[in-house]
Structure 1
Amino acid sequence: MDTQNSALLKDLLSTRRSVRSFSEEPLSLAVLETFLYAGQGCTSGDGRRTAPSAHALHPLVLRVVVRQVEGLAPGVYTYDCQAGKLSRVAGPIANGSLNSAALGDEKWLEDAPAVIAIVAKRGLAIDHFSAQQADGLRGARYVDFEAGASAQNIYLAVTAAGLGGVVVMGFDDIKMKQALGLERALFPIALFCVGNPLK
């Protein structure tokens, strides 16, 4: 890595901060898609992605709760990493439903113009790695590690764009699954609130 790129990376890492207050300014669709690519974009024809995945299993899925994104109607979307596009899977979720599933009063779950939900086919990983550890903890660890790598990629992309974001992991799993309307196989791991920082 050359000196200029090293300096850019160091600057991103040192300026990355969690932001919990957002303005009402909408996000652009292009910027949101950049964040989604950072988290789970496909980087090759064989399905490799921007975040590492044990045994290239890729159990993660990105769902997005859209409130204020230019060019998108409010609702819940899923990110197709192969096509690099969003598709709407549900209408708007009820106001307050994300915060009501949180363990504390995390109002940024309701204020952010977009919330990227990092969800996983957790059972897929647990079953796949059961020979390594029969109680499922090995597979669960791999999922959590992959989700952390995805979240850090999103953090750096958000920082590079001059926007703000924060990860939320303190929530009741069942209530959050219901709030997001997730299919049976999908399990919520983390939520990434993103938007323009409140000045």
Structure 2
Amino acid sequence: MAPRMADPGSTLTALIERRHSVREYSDAAIDRVALERIVHCAQGGSALGKRNAPSAHALYPLRLFAVIQRLNEPEYAPGLYALDTPEGRLGEWVKTVPPEALRATALADDVWLELAAVVLVVAADYAAARAHFADHQPDGRRGERYVHIETGAVLQNMHLATLAQDLGGVIVAGFDDARLSSLLNLHAPLQPVALFCIGAPAEPSAGL
């Protein structure tokens, strides 16, 4: 039996113990406010004047985007949106992204990329991280490591916040970088690092 934490009834503990990947979604649209809460938890501004996920030297080399497929407010047309991460809000519409085209960027047949109501995109400015931390390791690999650590923190925040909204989510990291960048109009120095699918679970009782 797993050891119990000091406060097993706390909200955070309960969310952590319930966290799991959800890959099957209903066709329900999700609420914009719920989505913005998830974005805020992922990398929104904190009460301390920083962000809600840690970043080495407060560099914040990550950028978030959202591929909206089903949102409950008709003024938000399907497609790619920039995210105002400090405010935790949806930004401007960028372009149309066909769900089947997003699915086609995966290295496996990740159908959940097509079925999710929203797919959040985590991109990184690796060049900025390599340059900033060049004194730590001349080849820049230390800066890349910090990017990956920060991405992990952001994804965990996303996942727990998604669960708190009674939604399901799953991380996707296996994709063709060049193909995804082309689809999403991501240009240097930004590179895609991870995707996070969000949707209402096909089976509401699926562990939520």
With normalisation by structure 2, the TM-score equals 0.89
Report the 3-state secondary structure (helix = DSSP H, G, I; strand = E; otherwise coil) of the residue aligned with 1:96.
helix
- The alignment covers a number of residue pairs equal to 196
Which residue number corresponds to residue 66 of structure 2? 64
Letter in 2 for 1:118: V
Is 1:16–1:159's contact at 8 Å kept on the other side of the alignment?
A: yes
Which one of the candidate residues 41, 64, 75 is aligned to 1:38? Answer: 41
| Structure 1 position 138 matched with structure 2 position 142 | yes
Report the 3-state secondary structure (helix = DSSP H, G, I; strand = E; otherwise coil) of the residue aligned with 2:10.
helix
Letter in 1 for 2:106: A
Which residue number corresponds to residue 185 of structure 2? 181
C-alpha change, 1:7 and 1:168, in structure 2 (3 Å) is same
Alpha-carbon distance, 1:44 to partner: 4.0
Unaligned residue ranges in structure 1 (runs of 5+): none
Unaligned residue ranges in structure 2 (runs of 5+): 1-5, 204-208
Greater CA deviation, 92-101 or 10-19?
A: 92-101
Which one of the candidate residues 4, 19, 23 is aligned to 1:20? Answer: 23
Q: Distance in 1 between matches of 2:182 and 2:48?
A: 34
| Structure 1 position 7 matched with structure 2 position 10 | yes
1:110-134 CA-to-partner distances (Å, cap 9, x unmatched) read 1101000011111110111111112
Q: Distance in 2 between matches of 1:161 and 1:7?
A: 16
Q: Distance in 2 between matches of 1:15 and 1:83?
A: 28
Report the 3-state secondary structure (helix = DSSP H, G, I; strand = E; otherwise coil) of the residue aligned with 2:148.
helix
Which one of the candidate residues 160, 164, 172 is aligned to 2:176? Answer: 172
Letter in 2 for 1:179: L
Q: Distance in 1 between matches of 2:123 and 2:98?
A: 19
Which one of the candidate residues 179, 185, 198 is aligned to 1:194? Answer: 198
| Structure 1 position 126 matched with structure 2 position 130 | yes
| Structure 1 position 147 matched with structure 2 position 141 | no
Q: Distance in 1 between matches of 2:29 and 2:13?
A: 29
Is 1:62–1:78's contact at 8 Å kept on the other side of the alignment?
A: yes
Greater CA deviation, 7-16 or 147-156?
A: 7-16
With normalisation by structure 1, the TM-score equals 0.93
Matched residues, percent identical? 40
Q: Please tell me the root mean square deviation across aligned C-alpha atoms, in Å.
A: 1.6
Which residue number corresponds to residue 108 of structure 1? 112
Which residue number corresponds to residue 156 of structure 1? 160
